[in-house]
Amino acid sequence: MPPFQIFARYRAWQRRPGNRRQPINIFGEAIILTVGTLFPIMNPLSTAPLFLSLTARFEKKRRDRDALMACIYAFGILVLFLLLGSAIIEFFGISVPGIRIAGGLIISVLGFRMLFPAIAPDASQGATQPELEIAFTPLAMPSLAGPGSISVVVTAASQIESNHPENYSLIYAGVIIGITVTLFIAWLILRTAASMARVLGPSGIDALTRIFGFLLVAIGIQFLLTGFSDFFGLRPA
């Protein structure tokens, strides 16, 4: 079932005599539906190897900060699109396929950088590399708050406004709490993944970085193909 279409069925169910739910039940179901729908699409388990490869050489304090900030950024992105997603899309004239294509380009570029890392400058020359900021891109967007997660919250907003005008504020609060719970789980997963750096060692981290770079290139290309096929209404063979 497409994300949050269950809200449409929920409205039809509510119209039946004797099936009117109490607000507390609606609030709880909004949280459960959000976590159950958003977590498989966000899939922080697939973000963990990326986080590990990008932060393997960071200190523990820096890894913990990046994990926390990535989840905070992702929360802000998803709540923004939940509350203003329709207005943003209409104002800029973009679409979910366009978001998928943009995300695919970002993921592909990052994958190429991981697959073919730049040679570090010689320390004797006094050159230092700038510190890489990874919390917002690529961890928060497009990994955690990617096109799939954004499409979920945008669809949720449209379903809530059309199907539950009498309880929309309560359901919005439940969805936001569901987003918070999902990202809290993602934060725990990223924190656990950081401890694997000591086990793999430098050579293992380098191998994992290149393998996941290749996978990111493949994922990015798939995002591009899906975005183009959705935009042009093409069906995969």
Q: Average pLDDT in the 46-63 region?
A: 83
Task: Answer whether 0.75 is exceeded by the pTM.
Answer: no
Provide, rounded to the nearest whole percent, the portion of the chain with pLDDT above 70.
Answer: 78
Better-predicted residue by pLDDT, 153 or 1: 153
The yes-or-no verdict on residue 176 having pLDDT over 90 is: yes
pLDDT in tens, 190-220: 988 767 766 777 777 778 778 877 887 887 8
What confidence score (pLDDT) does residue 97 get? Answer: 81
What confidence score (pLDDT) does residue 90 get? Answer: 81
Instruction: Tell me the average pLDDT of the chain.
Output: 78
What confidence score (pLDDT) does residue 37 get? Answer: 84
pLDDT in tens, 81-95: 988 887 887 888 887
What confidence score (pLDDT) does residue 12 get? Answer: 53
What confidence score (pLDDT) does residue 58 get? Answer: 83
Per-residue pLDDT band at 236 (split at 50, 70, 90): low
What confidence score (pLDDT) does residue 66 get? Answer: 93
The yes-or-no verdict on residue 31 having pLDDT over 60 is: yes
What confidence score (pLDDT) does residue 76 get? Answer: 95
What confidence score (pLDDT) does residue 4 get? Answer: 47
Per-residue pLDDT band at 124 (split at 50, 70, 90): very low
What confidence score (pLDDT) does residue 46 get? Answer: 76
Per-residue pLDDT band at 131 (split at 50, 70, 90): low
Q: Average pLDDT in the 105-114 region?
A: 80
What confidence score (pLDDT) does residue 162 get? Answer: 64
The yes-or-no verdict on residue 70 having pLDDT over 70 is: yes
The yes-or-no verdict on residue 129 having pLDDT over 80 is: no
The dihedral built from the CA positions of residue 17, 21, 26 and 28, taken in this order, carries a sign that is negative
